[in-house]
Chains A and B, each alone.
Chain A
């Protein structure tokens, strides 16, 4: 049996400066295989974003272990974790988080530059793939929400990462645009066998997932096929 691309074991996260609230994560564990499309489903405050930040190596767990592609994140060190984000992970955020001072093309090209493959054709091609041909030189504030999220997807996929973390990718979009975005994102991931993990509180998103991990109060409580949640 193949090794899981992500393994999380008994993960706890307690914010030191937040003494009034319970821990954000309380012993979560999960395993995700290569090429799987996962929906991390839960209400706001259930710990989805915290888990994302920990998997991306942006934050440190209070307790527990995270392995990405067989490597323990804590043992990787800061430089190793940065390299992991740079080469192996792609990010899609709810509020797009495009750099406002860069054009659509430059936002995508940035990802390539960071992995030392500054290929302009690849950046243009990624934008074409997400349906933004002709809008390369527009700044984020000149694009609609859906278009901005498409740029974010192009930025994530252009460097061909092994994992894409999408935090509420449709949370700021209308239903029709949301569906288009999810369709685009999951299709691209299936084609390239990229593992996709989507944090969401919208049942519709789960429809696109192979597996749904439900989170409640910082713990993964149940695991169901994607279709089941929609029903």
Chain B
């Protein structure tokens, strides 16, 4: 290795504590991206694997546009010339007594042999190890096969009882399931009984020889999808969710890059004199560039590798969180964290080196254009730091102007919105130098009051060393702004959701649970007839395709809903239900924005009897799905889809009804008698808020990580300031400053930077929240979140800033206490 490079690299072990801080900063930034991206990829890969395994050799599937398909259609399928093989399926979720949800498949083992031979054939015969296994599976009313991993997890063996909310099931064997998606199999006839679906199946999986011919005969009233189409639709459903996860991880990396820039800038300051010496000895610029690049790439390499490992550990935690959110919001998914691969290490190293190059680019430029004469004369650059700060601020204002243009461009892709938000953060961070100059008198007063002379010196140090302090404050400000901005956005979203629940969820009791326990139609009729009851709303929500994209259709009793709820309408009031009663629909804001449909327009949906034209009567605020929701009266729904399923039943009672409690108890008793799950209004609202909070658990973890990354930035800045000012400390000592006063000075420097960062983050974070609400959420999810001011995020962030800045000062203070008493005035 060249001596020039060696002279730079020796700084790494010489200033080990600073190197470790830099390393941890890079590692945390990389860990955030690796953890988040891998978790999202793992969740989707797990989903694709499950879909692939469950689809088997099927080329297509056929089902009703909404709800189960009549069993009699199977006879026609058997006769169809294009159908080589078919297999009817009941595809549901089953809740185990321990609360876990598993996928449940009801299949015909004989018909299914051609579609999923692994399940239907091989496993039945071999894996059960029981020659009577196949027979008992077919004949036992409660016989199920459980996938091997689930069986191991629940300690189930052949003959054991699997307790579920639908009763006890007898395990007759296990089978290998490579998808990682917990799976329980039952004979289809028994499954129909278990789910009260006699005469119906959910779909039929097909192997087609002639797709076109089949479509011609079956298109009317049925939904035919190829395996690829189904995958595309499921992926499309996760599009916005995934995009937001990626954006979050990019935000964390953004802070990480800032930190690298921060630390690389420190390195430049440290190496400035050395580079001047080297230039005077005849070293060429490129030799210094190579030396500097080698140094930051080594940090990027080791930090990236470490970040890869930490990110992998993070994946194990985040994958479960993301899986839960996807299950709550979209479709059933139980992803397994991916296995360790050396590619994770390579990805981490690549990211670490890439981020280091990005973060090191400006500092590198700084070192390249350093005037050797000035470099040799010492810390000349700082004399110009005020001027540089103003120049940087002008660049910041330019970037802010670009961000305004990006954010106000109409109808652009969401990526443009993200670019606008990132530009805003970059632009704002460029202003920190000027802000530090501007607030210096105030800071001097504040720190002077807190620490007298050391406080005033601390304020001066922050002002004088803008090269270091402005970048550290910028990184910390961005992290704190993320905390304020995401906190305020989540808080506003939560408040909007509470408002939405107050407007729509007015029922006394909610019986049944979507996707788990449907409500028998007879029960609905029974409740509806109960004397004194205000109304019963039979709710059904089902996914259909509109213009080839997944949307949801919900059926309600329009009269009951009109009387008992107060939907939030974009225009008008509850009179919007009148057209619904006459066969029209109302649509959610997300549907209206996504498909650019207005009140009075007509939408066409594929129904059980062909296309149905439905007139839009109004648009309502809704946060249940970003894909769009059409709501229609049950009579219209039955006419269009012929689906009698009821997912949940809401019971409404007039508030002044004297028999209110009695009626509630009576409905509860009847629901209990049928084994139907129930929730009161407050329980339902609480469970929705729980789903909401779970969904944002990932966001919160990213917020925390950004703070950790910035913490290393502040600690690094303080440590660098301490190291650079050893000579100054000698002077302080000769003037009679005590160790305690120097420690106070260091502490107040940290606090001063924390205070300025926090004050900046109040403004920047609030604007970030408004941008997230009005640009990002609106463009990704097509719904309006109302901004609610809440002091919570600001207080939390203030506490975080205080703790982080004081914590960051701890190590430099320890160094001060250890070394200050021995410091002398000396040049070298």
Contact = CB atoms under 8 A, between A and B. Distances in A.
A114 interface: yes
B758 to A, nearest CB: 35
Nearest to A87: B282
A209 to B, nearest CB: 22
B828 A148 contact: yes
A91 B281 contact: yes
A198 to B, nearest CB: 16
A62 interface: no
A163 interface: no
Given A17-B384, A58-B372, A85-B280, A141 B828 contact: yes
Interface in A1-57: 17, 53, 56
A87 B3 CA distance: 17
Contacts of B10: 101-102
Nearest to A155: B281
Contacts of A86: 281-283
B596 interface: no
Contacts of A98: 277
Contacts of B274: 99-101
A110 B3 contact: yes
Interface in A115-169: 115, 140-141, 145, 148, 155
B3, B4, B7, B278 — which one has the most chain A CB atoms within 10 A of its CB?
A: B3
A58 B373 contact: yes
A10 to B, nearest CB: 21
B54 interface: no
B6, B273, B276 — which one has the most chain A CB atoms within 10 A of its CB?
A: B6
Contacts of B6: 101-102, 106
Interface in B147-190: none
Interface string B291-309: 0000000000000000000
Given A58-B372, A95-B827, A95-B828, A102 B7 contact: yes
Interface residues of B, number: 28
Contacts of A95: 827-828
A53 B279 CA distance: 12
Interface string B803-828: 00000000000000000000000011
B79 interface: no
B277 A99 contact: yes
Contacts of A148: 828
A82 interface: yes
B2 interface: yes
A17 B380 CA distance: 12
A97 B283 CA distance: 14
A153 to B, nearest CB: 13
A158 B376 CA distance: 22
Nearest to B12: A101
Given A99-B274, A101-B11, A101-B14, A113 B3 contact: yes
B284 interface: yes
Given A58-B372, A106-B6, A110-B3, A172 B284 contact: no
Interface in B558-576: none
A101 B371 CA distance: 22
Contacts of B4: 110, 113-114
Interface in A166-189: 172
Nearest to A86: B282
A110 B7 contact: yes
A151 B283 CA distance: 18
A192 interface: no
Interface in B1-38: 2-4, 6-11, 14
B520 to A, nearest CB: 80
A83 interface: yes
A109 B3 contact: yes
Given A101-B11, A101-B14, A172-B827, A106 B3 contact: yes
Contacts of A59: 371, 373
A49 B2 CA distance: 30
A73 interface: no
Contacts of A56: 280
B7 A101 contact: yes
Contacts of A115: 282
Nearest to A96: B828
Contacts of A82: 279, 282-284
A194 interface: no
A140 B828 contact: yes
Contacts of B14: 101
Contacts of B8: 101
A186 B786 CA distance: 82
Contact of A113 (B2, B279, B373): B2
Contacts of A97: 273, 276-277, 280, 376
A98 B3 CA distance: 13
Contacts of B276: 97
A195 B735 CA distance: 45
Contact of A89 (B11, B282, B376, B384): B282
A172 B828 CA distance: 10
A200 interface: no
A31 to B, nearest CB: 23
Interface string B350-385: 000000000000000000000111001000000010
A111 interface: yes
B3 A83 contact: no
Given A58-B372, A99-B277, A102-B6, A83 B282 contact: yes
A58 B7 contact: no
Interface string A192-219: 0000000000000000000000000000
Contacts of B2: 113
B646 to A, nearest CB: 76
Contacts of A99: 7, 274, 277-278
Nearest to B13: A101
Contact of A114 (B283, B376, B827): B283
Nearest to B383: A17
B299 to A, nearest CB: 16
Nearest to B9: A101
A175 B586 CA distance: 97
A97 B377 CA distance: 11
A58 B3 contact: no
A115 B281 CA distance: 10
A114 B2 CA distance: 9
Contacts of B279: 58, 82, 85
B822 to A, nearest CB: 13
A110 B281 contact: yes
Contacts of B3: 102, 106, 109-110, 113
A106 B274 CA distance: 14
Contacts of B827: 95, 172
Contacts of A96: 828
B29 to A, nearest CB: 27
Contact of B280 (A58, A109, A141): A58
Contacts of B281: 85-86, 91, 110-111, 114, 155
Nearest to B280: A91
A119 to B, nearest CB: 13
Interface in B252-280: 273-274, 276-280
Interface string B230-270: 00000000000000000000000000000000000000000
B656 to A, nearest CB: 83
Nearest to B4: A110
B43 to A, nearest CB: 47
22 contacts: A56-B280, A58-B372, A59-B371, A82-B283, A84-B282, A85-B280, A91-B281, A93-B277, A95-B827, A97-B276, A99-B274, A101-B8, A101-B11, A101-B14, A102-B6, A102-B7, A106-B6, A106-B7, A109-B3, A113-B2, A114-B282, A114-B283
Please name the 6 residue pairs, one residue from A and one from B, whose CB atoms are nearest each other, closest first.
A86-B282, A101-B10, A85-B282, A110-B3, A99-B7, A97-B277
Given A56-B280, A86-B281, 16 more contacts: A79-B284, A82-B282, A83-B282, A86-B283, A97-B277, A100-B828, A101-B6, A101-B7, A101-B10, A101-B14, A102-B3, A102-B6, A102-B10, A106-B7, A110-B4, A110-B7
